[in-house]
Structure 1
């Protein structure tokens, strides 16, 4: 337990913020790399001579690798600590982006994006572990929200500035320059970041033969399943919309111009940036209601989508703005999942727990992307040029399956989690009062 180790540095103060700011800059870079193909789709199709389906494979493969890496990354994180994983992730992303800059075939470019996804997978949960160790309980939810939301500024940088660079410098120079940013970030991590404010021992030494048992214990904890359910239900809608199907839906389905559609996607990022700290503050003050807040986010998003898809004609612009704005709540809402994981697990197991939680949203995102694509292929076998509003109305309705399943899981595991909390003397009352987030590392560190 954290309370049995000697504390070497103050938490929640200047050193903590310096470490977090450095790691946050890395996360912004990771999001930039992750979304850097968004404005280069047409150039990529021309450079590699590929179809629209092959172009979509870049995004799907990258997310699939990201999701598949979460449990291995969680294990490695608990074994080696955040600093080692962040540096490894940066090296992988730098090599992947540099490889992508010189790739001249679809196969090589696809391998480069897979390596990029693997490096990206190592960063977010590593940063969450730094937050869990370096900040007080009352600070951590807001800092977590700020991490997720400020990180999305990387997506903004991957839009207009990257587009301008591509047209000015060309493909190879632009992506090679982006890769070089990883070298600078790696140097900053090595100089500034420290794994823990406590003496050595914060990293659990996991033996291979005990790994299966350890993961089983993490999975059986209802707090892990509750966190994964929250991430599953909240994260996929903005991810699917921003990375793949939002732009075609707005242009081909709703009749917006490409400029209007791009502006709405940018607006989604801006809304999430402002909503995040508010949700973080609410989760810190009212920990008992965290999963209910997530259900409120899911209900709001699904309600607005139901209204838009039920209209027999194209939606007015104001309603599409509302749709994009409410859908953006899913990003900050998904951060609640990691706060739940932090509450139910000691720091020695936080990496594994966060990895499992993080898989939830990306499994939902990949499944939803595939469902929408499958339905569109059946509705409009002629390809993207033949998509209509009716096609999108049916295809986008597949999201309701995921929202319904996710909401049911949240409700189910909320009850299981509360029963576990009730077994700890005084824990349930403290949780209702908002004085602590137990029963994981939070209780020990709240008393520091």
Structure 2
């Protein structure tokens, strides 16, 4: 039998991986959905910016907390059971959010959603190491981001139109039903390894003498003992966090209140930012593979992101120029895909799942810290204006709030300069 026939056919590999990608798409949709319903949430639950930022960030609190255990469990138990459980619990959390009578229950629903969909990305990376060739890992990671951003685009103009027609609670109930159906599909069709379907696996052979049953704490400490691991978890806080904070919550009200746009137009602009971010992921990931190096491209694109966000935050721009700069900045922020491959290569192969979980905490910590942080600064600079029960903030307040994003990207740039190059090769 030829080498090509021993490995799983591409259609099967992408189909198995794609069901995990659908849960990630739903998770990303849930991540940024609050951006287009800020006015409804502020009115229904009587929230200010800090409380709204906290409601949105409850997703990130549990998501980040789940990353390390998710990576470890993916190493030990396999992604199929994780993805199935994640989709089922996400459906329950979405139902809770849809029916929430008070902010307490809304927060609880968001917390449950974040914890459950947290399994998606790390499980997808684990599936990718077994179902795809090693040189396809960065591409798969980039396409994963693209799938997620598709969910973010759905949570833009389409979600706003549905909310205006049926109400946000009804739309969330339908979302819960779709997620429950995905739970069933994952259990029926996803398999952890091609060997379960009679094909040869792409998983790297374990190193001789590797201790597969070492303690969880020992494995985590091993990952964190490598300098790149903690650097690559902090860097995305600023770079990816900027996109999650702007497109995921504060961009739509900023564009409405400072630039006078309608909600649907503002949502279209933030969706464009997400699309540029999605395109940047696979393109920059593949380019780093061709270069045979991770660090130079990571540094260059972080500099571009810093300049771009600095222009958006501190310079008065006409709307067309603002959109152009956001597109360039979003594309550059797709460099987090380089970081995922970078982190995976910086540890031995047996620790890849744990390393992926640790690294994936970075982007989500960006949303966790920056969304409520910006909201807190907005409330500190609020002049007392409200429309329909929702607070309105001026340009100076948003500039002060978004300065937190700029400072975080500065930190990202300083740290990435300290990382060690892997030359796109897995550590033995």
* TM-based fold match above 0.5: yes
1:399 to 399, 405, 412: 405
CA distance in 1 between partners of 2:277 and 2:116 (Å): 24
- Give 1:135 shift: 1.1
Check whether the contact 1:234–1:297 (CA below 8 A) recurs between aligned residues.
no
- Structure 2: 5+ residue stretches without partners: none
In terms of mean alpha carbon deviation, does 273-282 or 292-301 score higher? 273-282
- Give 1:364 shift: 3.1
Check whether the contact 1:233–1:298 (CA below 8 A) recurs between aligned residues.
no
Provide the alpha-carbon RMSD of the alignment. Answer: 2.9
- Give 1:304 shift: 2.2
Could you report, residue by residue, the CA deviation over 1:87-138 in whole angstroms, capped at 9, with x for unpaired residues? Answer: 1111110110112222222211211111011111111111111112211122
- Structure 1: 5+ residue stretches without partners: 1-7, 422-430, 441-448
Query: Secondary structure of the residue that 1:412 maps to in structure 2?
Result: coil
Match of 1:72 in 2: 69
2:309 to 298, 305, 309: 305
1:81 to 72, 78, 82: 78
- Give 1:226 shift: 4.3
1:250 to 252, 255, 269: 255
Structure 1 residues 357 and 120, CA gap change in structure 2 (3 angstroms): same
- Structure 1 residue ranges (4+ consecutive) displaced by more than 6 angstroms after TM superposition: 199-206
1:437 paired with 2:408, answer: no
CA distance in 2 between partners of 1:160 and 1:370 (Å): 24
Match of 1:427 in 2: none
1:325 to 324, 327, 334: 327
Match of 1:390 in 2: 396
Match of 1:260 in 2: 265
Check whether the contact 1:226–1:340 (CA below 8 A) recurs between aligned residues.
no
Structure 1 residues 307 and 46, CA gap change in structure 2 (3 angstroms): closer
CA distance in 1 between partners of 2:376 and 2:107 (Å): 22
Check whether the contact 2:54–2:372 (CA below 8 A) recurs between aligned residues.
no
Alignment of structure 1 residues 127-276 onto 2, 5 Å:
127-197=124-194, 210-276=215-281
Check whether the contact 1:39–1:163 (CA below 8 A) recurs between aligned residues.
yes
CA distance in 1 between partners of 2:260 and 2:332 (Å): 25
Could you report, residue by residue, the CA deviation over 1:164-215 in whole angstroms, capped at 9, with x for unpaired residues? Answer: 43344445443222111122212221222111235899999966x8222211
CA distance in 1 between partners of 2:150 and 2:415 (Å): 31
Check whether the contact 2:309–2:406 (CA below 8 A) recurs between aligned residues.
no
- Give 1:408 shift: 1.6
Match of 1:4 in 2: none
Q: What is the TM-score of this pair, normalised by structure 1?
A: 0.83
1:295 paired with 2:299, answer: yes
Q: What is the TM-score of this pair, normalised by structure 2?
A: 0.86
CA distance in 2 between partners of 1:52 and 1:375 (Å): 9
1:91 to 88, 105, 117: 88
Check whether the contact 2:27–2:114 (CA below 8 A) recurs between aligned residues.
no
Equivalenced residue count is 412
CA distance in 2 between partners of 1:272 and 1:364 (Å): 15
Query: Secondary structure of the residue that 1:382 maps to in structure 2?
Result: coil
Structure 1 residues 310 and 38, CA gap change in structure 2 (3 angstroms): closer
Structure 1 residues 147 and 186, CA gap change in structure 2 (3 angstroms): same
In terms of mean alpha carbon deviation, does 188-197 or 29-38 score higher? 29-38
Match of 1:5 in 2: none
Query: Secondary structure of the residue that 1:380 maps to in structure 2?
Result: coil
- Give 1:331 shift: 4.5
Structure 1 residues 50 and 205, CA gap change in structure 2 (3 angstroms): farther
Check whether the contact 2:284–2:334 (CA below 8 A) recurs between aligned residues.
yes
- Give 1:279 shift: 1.3
